[in-house]
Structure 1
Amino acid sequence: MNICLYGSGSRRIDEIYTDKAYELGCAIAKKGHTLVFGGGDTGMMGACAHGVHDNNGRSLGIAPQWIGDFEPLCENCSDFIYVDSMDERKKEFEKHSDAFIISPGGIGTLDEFFEIITLKKLKQHNKEIIVFNIDGFFDKMFEMIDEMDKKGFLYKQEEIFKIANSIDEIFQCLK
């Protein structure tokens, strides 16, 4: 299975997050899956990719070449696809992935998350989406989504994504 990871590329995040991302990468490789990610060598993306590579797993990085001006790109990817824009990158993520894991991140991660759940809601795909809620990182976002639902801003709320608080829960959701 090709598993896409959305997450921060920041070098400034706490180790509680990057340690879990590394463990996730180890698990992805050990279970024989391929990591699809934004190609970054730092933050959540880099930690997960290092876990994959340290366990002889496969990875596919997808990024515009110019993103290297903002963060280093991972040199250990099994394959790398260069694109011209962030929109094209998101389309390639969707094309090459069987499931999506959203890990802690910033504005770019939220953009990717909301786009992929919107596409699922609009029946453009039926792939599993799992939010990896490390240390309650996304709790406030879930409160906001619940509030939007309560106030009628969301249509019939079926399960569009699942929440996992551990790596074991992620792989239970993927079965």
Structure 2
Amino acid sequence: MLKPFCFPNLITFKGNSDVKKADLNRNKTITILGSSRSTEALKPYETFIYDVSSELVRKGNTILTGNGKFGIMGAAYKAAKEIEKNRNQAIIMIPPYGDEDFENCVVIDKAKSEDERIIKFDYSSKIKLINPGGAATLKEFTSFIERKYSRGKNLPSKLYLIGDKPFIGMREQIKTLEDHGYLGQTKAEDLYSPVKTLDKVALVNDILRNQDNVFAEKIDLLNKNSEKNANITKHKNNYLIFPGGLKTLKRAVSLITAAQYTKNNEKPNIFLVGKDFYAGLDKQYHDCSNMGLLGKKKPEDLYTLIDKNEIGFTDLTVPKNIYTASKINLGF
């Protein structure tokens, strides 16, 4: 089998001079992300995304995934390649994870980190379908939504959050940000579209309607409403994450993802400060665990939820005496 050598926006094959340029029409490329593992709880979503992907390709669209063989990504990948290989595109990691299928797709780009790949997904497609998944999927979604809020009309995106019960916690968390004034005049529903019913026809039709109309979305992007930095305090390998906006949420989820995939003696110690404020995020990780999407890890293995009065905490102010006043042993 010929082995691919990947360069930005094209792929060449060792052994011949064949060069295939990918069709990178951002409007007509749909990024589909979600779990790369298959669980019993995911079966309905795998079937749904297979059907949606098939219909989108038949309508002239291209499917873009992370090239995983299984789970949500595998279902989207399989649907696209069964219709037309060139409509089945991928951005892969270097080095590869080992579960990729290079033979039946066009690799349009490569990335050395997940953060880099998220940015490349964003630049490659306007519409993203975020399906149930584990810690990495939550990182992708919060990264996309923060980029959308901070960047706005410069590179518009339409984000669909697929599934009702799998994303109750995340929807609640973003609404909490809105209720506490962290989104300025922007409403949570301006940032993403929840897809609570698995209705293929309704979703495909909505995607087709929005492909050329994403620029019309209403987003309040005044600079004064955007965080300059995440509201996080770090000491050695301990992170205290206080209430904040989308930048703080993105950073919190990124750290929790690192805790999921890092060895125990190296993983960050994460403390979410404010049980009420972070109740939605906590629920999200528990629901992921119940669906079998965190592997052997439990939410309590990844972070600790602290009540605000345990460190003399007030809603919008980081306490100055955090290291001395804490009633919990944080290892400082």
The bucket for the TM-score relative to the shorter chain is 0.7 to 0.9
Task: Describe the SS at the equivalent of 1:51.
Answer: helix
Task: Describe the SS at the equivalent of 1:126.
Answer: coil
Partner residue in 2 for 1:32? 60
Partner residue in 1 for 2:194? 163
Higher relative contact order (CA 8 A, sep 6+): 1
Partner residue in 2 for 1:60? 89
Partner residue in 1 for 2:100? 73
Shift of 1:111: 0.8
- State percent identity of aligned pairs: 24
Task: Describe the SS at the equivalent of 2:97.
Answer: helix
**Aligned mates of 1:19, 1:54 — CA distance in 2:** 15
* Larger mean Cα displacement after TM superposition, 11-20 or 45-54: 11-20
Unaligned runs of 5+ in 2: 1-27, 210-332
Task: Describe the SS at the equivalent of 1:131.
Answer: strand
Let me know the Cα RMSD of the aligned residues.
Answer: 1.9
Higher Cα radius of gyration: 2
Alignment of 1:22-171 (within 5 A): 22-56=50-84, 58-69=87-98, 72-75=99-102, 76-122=104-150, 123=152, 124-133=154-163, 136-158=165-187, 159-164=190-195, 165=197, 166-171=199-204
8 Å contact from structure 1 (residues 46, 74) kept in 2: no
**Aligned mates of 2:186, 2:48 — CA distance in 1:** 30
CA distance 1:41–1:80, shift in 2 (3 Å)? farther
Shift of 1:154: 3.0
**Aligned mates of 1:55, 1:140 — CA distance in 2:** 36
**Aligned mates of 1:6, 1:13 — CA distance in 2:** 18
Corresponding residue pairs, total: 172
**Aligned mates of 1:16, 1:87 — CA distance in 2:** 29
Partner residue in 1 for 2:12? none
Task: Describe the SS at the equivalent of 1:73.
Answer: coil
8 Å contact from structure 2 (residues 56, 204) kept in 1: no
What whole-Å deviation, never above 9, does each CA across 1:74-107 have from its counterpart, x for those lacking one? 2311334222221221121112112111111111
**Aligned mates of 1:167, 1:136 — CA distance in 2:** 18
What amino acid is the match of 1:153?
A: Y
8 Å contact from structure 1 (residues 39, 80) kept in 2: no
Shift of 1:13: 4.7
Normalization by structure 1: what TM-score?
0.87
Shift of 1:4: 0.6
What whole-Å deviation, never above 9, does each CA across 1:37-56 have from its counterpart, x for those lacking one? 11111110011111112223
Shift of 1:129: 1.3
